[in-house]
Structure 1
Amino acid sequence: MKSLIKVFAVFLSIILIVLCTTTAFAVSLYVDGDYTYADIDDYNVSLYAYSSENSLLTVPAEFSGRNISEIYPYAFEYNTDITGIDFSQNNNRMRIINTKAFNECTELSGDLILPSSIRTLGFAAFQGCVKLASLTVNYGVAEIPAQCFNRCSGLKNIILAPSVESIGNLAFAKCSSLESVYLPSSVTYISTSAFNDSAPTLYVYYDSYSHHFAEEKGFRYVVLNPPVDPTEPPTEAPTDAPTEPVTEAPTEPVTPTEEPTIAPTEAVTEAPTEASGYYLGDVNGDNTVDVIDSTLIQRYLASVAYPDTCVMMHGDVDGDGVVTILDATYIGRYNARIEVRYPIGEWQAE
């Protein structure tokens, strides 16, 4: 009898543990039209699910006065309805795309542009998104974690902002169509398996970690800022050659004459100077369009201070009258030698 009581007591204990565990990990969910949100705290919610006939997932900015700052883990895993993600309505509230949030979203296609508000990408967040064509990770993300874009076989071009410091295991492995990867000088670690079964050209900065990585691992690479070869100083004529003294011809006294008449002259008209202007995309006015300009735009959009000498509207490369993250992306592509349809780097008369 006592043994039965002990067994029953153990059974009750197990049930209580399961119930307590389930309660502890219960998630409060809220449905708002096509969207479902999960609690994070009093100020933030996570996007948990989306059900709509519209295949473009537009991420809102807030729900019930709280920021939509995360994509829930596994939220859209194996979703075959979503073809695109639009973060433009989120107003830079998004901070985290969690583990496998878009894993195996096989219809997600086109250009994926992650906003500068994002700070963290989760493990395998976009793994197996085989129709993605290009990726732009804007300023803010420090790590591309393991398997984040593994098996994105349609991915051709990647631009990483100068906040990225590390690239994890298999991060871009089996990206069989990958042609170019822009690696900023901020990168200090790349896993040896990061580009397994991928053969991109790496765009690197001279003497950077990425430069040495490309050389050691045998990747094709292009140095974005090659060192300038020293040039020979101009050869001057020797000054120590002997010279003969110069004998001046004797002068005769000048006989005063009538004051010469000076013919009237016409006013001299100066040659017209070149009209003032700027190079499209040159935000900081150094007559060069480079990664610094795209970074300054990102910092401007993130409300981070930038030098007074910057003229942000010079960065409006798509000519829509406002500087957006798209302009920074186009400048990034220009610097990565990826063709863009705007005349970036060309002189624009004002």
Structure 2
Amino acid sequence: MMSLEKTNNKIFRIISLLIIVSSLFIISSMKIFADGSNIIKDDNFEYTVLDENSVALTSALDEDSLVNKDIIIPSEVQGKKVVQIGQSAFYACDLKSVTIPDTVTEIKDKAFSRCTFLQYIKLPNSIKTLGKSTFSACTSLKEIDLPDFITSIPESLFSSCSSLESIEIPEGVTSIGNLAFANCYNLKEITIPKTITEIAPPVYTKLVFNRCTSLNTIKGYKGTYARTLSRELGCKFIALDASEDDKEFEIKFDADNGSDIVTQPVYKDEILNYTPENITKKGYTFVGWYEDTDNITTEYKNNQTYTKDITYKAKWAHVEGLGAQVKVDKTGIRFGTKLYNDGDEILEKGTVMIPTKLIDTMTQWNITLDTENAAKSIGKVNYEVNKDENYVVYLGTLINIPESQRDTYIRASSYVRYKDKSGNEYIVYAFNKEASINSLLESSN
């Protein structure tokens, strides 16, 4: 009985001792982090302890000692792996080159920003994430190999890297952030992977490559966003999957308004993803792009394939909206249209209008005959006939406006129904600018 009691007491003392030791260890650990001992200083670098196994390099202790130097970041410090380069860790340091170990998985925002002497940096494939502006304003950096497993090019990553000449974005990257390559004046060539499908909206594309004045070549794969990007930026496209026997066809767009013909090359069976820019011609309304302007069934459609050279020509209707005509006593308005009889057969002409408050401006900006609740008036009576120049001016139905409703905004379109030389009917709309009735009345003063 006594022996059992002694054994139990011994076990109790051992357990108590273990509890005390564990408590002291926990208290000691808490004290270390409380008094700032989670900072490690070693060989001119400062590190922050992330956990018991890893640290982040957060700054250089003596930046002057790094001027024009080649530095190698260690993979381990005091038994802990270096897994991260912290935010602004080397900001504005004048180092010459950097080798990063394959223990690092992340580089934070601005880590090497404004390192103007930096000419070379080795990025291991262990890196999965790069922060915003990581290499921005590294003005001596001419080339860099990006890690294979990153999935995005963050905002301003290489902005103002004015010596950067080429860059290959690895397969797997799906997005490019705003201003990523802005002000890279000497960037001549960029390779875009299949995994990038768009940079939207289109204005965003211009900002990504803002002031890349030397960019002239986009490399990528046929039928991918790389080809589309080359068209948007006006760059030469090199297809990485093209063979010597592959032929490029020329798809041309002739605006017939004095501007240059635009040529878009496309390989056989490659989808042409191209939207021509908006064009204008004084006194005319644009109808569309056609291989044969006498047959509207030959209209250009986006995302088609080609097996021959084709020239699409702009088709114009000689019609223009003249805007609002105000009644002499300013109690009403109507819209005028100038129409020339020098093209396809005119079947019907008129005006369609509607108060803006009756339409969903998010989904429908222009007014057509199909617009619900729109008022249509057929132009049966010509206000002016000019036989020498072969045009007529017709007016829509007069709208009498009570004074209480003159703050109402209104939209209107002139329309002409035509028949082309192949017997196809189509409608052309000449849109008038949206305006309040008051402003239309006042503009007649």
TM normalised by structure 1 equals: 0.54
Which residue in the other structure is 1:106 paired with? 116
**Which of 195, 205, 208 lines up with 1:194 in the alignment?**
208
In structure 2, what residue type is equivalent to 1:73?
Answer: Q
**Which of 178, 196, 203 lines up with 2:219 in the alignment?**
203
**Which of 39, 45, 60 lines up with 1:35 in the alignment?**
45
**Residue deviations 1:180-224, cap 9 Å, x none?**
112121223434121111142111111112221222332332111
**Residue deviations 1:112-167, cap 9 Å, x none?**
34211111110101100000010211211111100011000000111222122211
Distance 1:123 1:85 in 2: 19
Which residue in the other structure is 1:76 paired with? 90
In structure 1, what residue type is equivalent to 2:226?
Answer: S
Larger-gyration structure (1/2):
2
Indicate if the aligned counterparts of 1:27 and 1:38 stay in contact, CA closer than 8 A: no
**Which of 121, 135, 143 lines up with 2:144 in the alignment?**
135
Indicate if the aligned counterparts of 2:164 and 2:187 stay in contact, CA closer than 8 A: yes
Which residue in the other structure is 2:98 paired with? 85
Which residue in the other structure is 2:271 paired with? none
Indicate if the aligned counterparts of 2:56 and 2:82 stay in contact, CA closer than 8 A: yes
Which residue in the other structure is 1:212 paired with? 228
Distance 2:148 2:220 in 1: 17
Which residue in the other structure is 1:179 paired with? 188
How far off is 1:229 after superposition? 4.7
Distance 1:27 1:196 in 2: 45
Runs (4+) of structure 1 moved beyond 3 Å? 51-54, 227-230
Q: How do residues 22-61 of structure 1 correspond to structure 2 at under 5 angstroms?
A: 28-50=38-60, 51=62, 53=65, 55-61=69-75
Indicate if the aligned counterparts of 1:39 and 1:46 stay in contact, CA closer than 8 A: yes
Distance 1:142 1:27 in 2: 35
Distance 2:209 2:91 in 1: 23
In structure 1, what residue type is equivalent to 2:78?
Answer: S
Distance 1:105 1:216 in 2: 32
Indicate if the aligned counterparts of 2:152 and 2:175 stay in contact, CA closer than 8 A: yes
Distance 1:127 1:229 in 2: 39
The answer to whether the aligner puts 1:150 opposite 2:159 as a matched pair is yes
SS of equivalent to 2:138: coil
Percent identity over the alignment is 30
Which residue in the other structure is 1:119 paired with? 128
In structure 2, what residue type is equivalent to 1:49?
Answer: S
Higher strand share: 2
Distance 2:147 2:52 in 1: 28
Distance 2:50 2:127 in 1: 16
How far off is 1:104 after superposition? 0.6
Indicate if the aligned counterparts of 2:128 and 2:147 stay in contact, CA closer than 8 A: no
How far off is 1:75 after superposition? 1.0
Q: How many residues align?
A: 202
Distance 1:71 1:214 in 2: 35
Residues 49 and 216 of structure 1, relative CA distance in 2, 3 Å threshold = same
Greater mean alpha carbon deviation, residues 189-198 or residues 113-122? 189-198
SS of equivalent to 1:69: strand
In structure 1, what residue type is equivalent to 2:135?
Answer: F
Distance 1:113 1:182 in 2: 19
TM normalised by structure 2 equals: 0.43
How far off is 1:27 after superposition? 8.6
Distance 1:122 1:27 in 2: 27
For structure 2, the residue ranges without an aligned partner over 5 or more in a row are 1-32, 248-445
Which residue in the other structure is 1:97 paired with? 107
How far off is 1:225 after superposition? 1.3
Distance 1:45 1:187 in 2: 33
Distance 1:154 1:65 in 2: 39
In structure 2, what residue type is equivalent to 1:164?
Answer: V
In structure 2, what residue type is equivalent to 1:180?
Answer: E
Indicate if the aligned counterparts of 1:113 and 1:138 stay in contact, CA closer than 8 A: no
Distance 2:87 2:121 in 1: 19
Which residue in the other structure is 2:242 paired with? 226
Residues 154 and 229 of structure 1, relative CA distance in 2, 3 Å threshold = closer
**Residue deviations 1:41-93, cap 9 Å, x none?**
2222111123373511211111122210111101111112x111112xx2x11
Indicate if the aligned counterparts of 2:141 and 2:161 stay in contact, CA closer than 8 A: yes
Distance 1:95 1:86 in 2: 14
Distance 2:157 2:181 in 1: 7
Distance 1:142 1:216 in 2: 23
Distance 1:74 1:113 in 2: 18
Indicate if the aligned counterparts of 2:99 and 2:123 stay in contact, CA closer than 8 A: no
For structure 1, the residue ranges without an aligned partner over 5 or more in a row are 1-22, 231-350
